[in-house]
Amino acid sequence: MAIGAVSGAVSQLLLSMVHIDTANAAYPWTVGSLSGRPEEQIPQIGLITVAGLILSIIWTRYFRLLSFSDAVIITLGHSPQRIRLLAVLIAVTLTGFAVSLAGPVGMVALAGPEMARSLARHKGLPVMSSVLCGGILMVLADLAGRTILSPVELPVGIVTAVTGGPYLIWILIRQPRRSAL
């Protein structure tokens, strides 16, 4: 949370130092927006996304081991440090890529996997169902942002923050002892 606050302050500082037109052009990115993406970026977006998904799917069986203690993982013949490092590298790369495209869109990373866990048959790390739930949430939030106050368009980040806050509270009330949060 502290890192987010410092990062937000640095972003606001940088925006205050540029011309007002430049700051206005950057605003949609600062609140998270899907609008204004050039068509030329679609192949690059698709390639990086598919590569990250393939890596995630390949390594899912190892990521599931992280639900056990280090001693159990080592007994099974794997390195917990290596698995954690790879998980962090994949997550940071995909997250950084997504944020560079759409800006900070909050709550999707929380709500997508949580929905996937409740919908999936097994209780592991359902990578594809998490991706699909997160994508559906983004599309629904974008649709809501475009239609709720039409002709004014709300950035998707604002819609997800407004709807995600109560969802987070509901999760915390529903499962107060859950260690994942």
One digit per residue, pLDDT tens: the chain, 181 residues? Answer: 678 788 878 888 888 898 988 888 888 878 888 787 777 887 888 888 889 888 888 888 898 899 899 999 999 999 999 999 999 998 888 888 888 888 888 888 888 888 887 777 666 557 788 888 888 998 999 999 999 998 988 889 899 988 888 888 887 888 766 554 4
The total of structural domains in the chain comes to 2
Q: Which domain holds residue 6?
A: 1-31
Cα 54 to Cα 42, 50, 82: the distances in Å are 18, 6, 18
Cα 6 to Cα 13, 121, 128: the distances in Å are 10, 40, 33
Among 67, 46, 30, 38, smallest CA distance to 135 is for 46
pLDDT of residue 75: 94
Q: Return the structure tokens found at 110.
A: 């929380």
Task: Identify whether residues 42 and 129 lie together within a single domain.
Answer: yes
Task: Identify whether residues 166 and 101 lie together within a single domain.
Answer: yes
Task: Identify whether residues 98 and 15 lie together within a single domain.
Answer: no
Q: How many helices (H) and strands (E) does the chain have?
A: 8, 0
Among 50, 72, 68, smallest CA distance to 127 is for 50
The whole-model pTM stands at 0.73
Task: Identify whether residues 24 and 51 lie together within a single domain.
Answer: no
* Residue 179 within a domain: no
Task: Identify whether residues 98 and 118 lie together within a single domain.
Answer: yes
* Residue 180 within a domain: no
